[in-house]
Amino acid sequence: MKNYYGKLCAETYEVLHAEAPEDELAFYLSYAHAGDKILEPMCGSGRFLIPFMERGFDITGIDLSEEMLSALYRKAPRAHAFKGDILKFDSDTPYDYIFISSGSFSLFTDEGAADRMLVKLRSLLAPGGKMVIAAESMAGAHNGDGSYRLVSAIPLDDGGELRFSSNGPL
């Protein structure tokens, strides 16, 4: 399966990325509010999901990798996450905040699959909800000061806004 984190990948990921970087965690937390229903697709081993849980947020994770989810449950047995394909996921209640962290969205190298993913996520979002997706680019390969700057904001028909932020040079 393409873009799948198996046993070796999951073990390596846990060594390299066991915990969320504080600046990136603060960035994702800045969009969360008490009472929000939050979804983290591609939650992996929980490096962001767990700190959200520890802060009392109602967060659900979904991931294709059984091995990554096993790592999550070893660290947080009470986590609300499950194995599945986000494109086949449905929810009776829409989410107030959906985020994909740390360039996981960049694993979607097929433009059609990326488009379907965005459409699916939008369908799961509550009116006025927020969606934050980190996507890697060549700009991210350069050293910046670590802060996130607004690059552009596009107003949406429903009153929302699509915001592009970067921590790379502008």
**DSSP per-residue letters across 70-103:** HHHHHH-TT--EEE--GGG---SS-EEEEEE-TT
Give the mean model confidence (pLDDT) for residues 60-87.
90
d(CA 47, CA 21): 9
Residue 112: pLDDT band with limits 50, 70, 90: confident
- Is a pLDDT exceeding 90 seen at residue 153? no
Sorting pLDDT into bands at 50, 70 and 90, what band is 6?
low
pLDDT in tens, 26-37: 999 999 999 999
- What confidence score (pLDDT) does residue 12 get? 62
pTM, full prediction: 0.74
**Which H helix or E strand runs over 139?**
none
Question: Does residue 99 contact residue 28 with C-beta atoms inside 8 Å?
Answer: yes
Q: Is the pLDDT of residue 169 over 60?
A: no
